[in-house]
Amino acid sequence: MDFLRRGQKTFKPRKSIPEGSHRYDLAQCASSATLGSGADLREAVKLPEGEDINEWVAVHVVDFFNQISMLYGTITEYCTPQRCPVMSAGPKYEYHWADGQTVKKPIKCSAPQYIDYLMTWVQLQLDDEVMFPSKIGVPFPKNFMSNARMILKRLFRVYAHIYHAHFQDVRSLEVEPHLNTSLKHFTFFIQEFSLVEKKELVPLQELIDKLTSKSVKHSNG
């Protein structure tokens, strides 16, 4: 099974960074550092010397949005309102949607509806020149980092739902290695900059511990 071919069925349109911009160069730097199975993801997520942390976080938010959109795109046919009537990560964790603007009071909805709301909400922010300025010299807003934290916290819920509700689908499609690598990359990044509270990661904590401890053993051995 060709993951990249299947992955072209991206859930949401891929967000691209303007070529020739400094952020594009940073994205290329981040991408090349994580290529190959032997890549040390823990080192790759560290802020390059002399770079702006807001730019580095912005690059990775776009990257994780694209990764998660592609991964979820591989299993959308299995994630239906009938099969996933609530957005959850196992029996103990249920997520209700609210964006504070169009949906102010949290609403209970199916997993595909929740994820559609979530990815549309993220995409609107990535396209917002005030929140994610693309021009050199235009400063990031003061609330950029708190907003990035909220985006990453919610994107993690898509990982959590895929693992809890669709792991057998992922295995049958032979996408598991890509999903694991993506989650590991995401985890190292949010840990490096303390972007998501530990309590939010509890639905996948056991898996996260396993994935990240393997990496430690590998780098020491």
Binding residue ranges for Zn(2+): 79, 84, 161, 166
> Closest Cα to residue 157, out of 213, 210, 88?
88
Binding site: which residues? 79, 84, 161, 166
What phi and psi values does residue 202 have, to the nearest 5 degrees?
Answer: -50, -40
Q: What are the CA-CA distances from residue 67 to residues 87, 130, 142 (Å)?
A: 20, 24, 27
Please answer whether residues 69 and 10 qualify as being in contact, where contact means their C-beta atoms are separated by less than 8 angstroms: yes
Whole-angstrom distance, CA of residue 78 vs CA of residue 5: 18
> Closest Cα to residue 50, out of 22, 82, 78?
22
Whole-angstrom distance, CA of residue 178 vs CA of residue 199: 25
For 16, left (φ over 0), alpha (ψ -120 to 50), or beta? beta
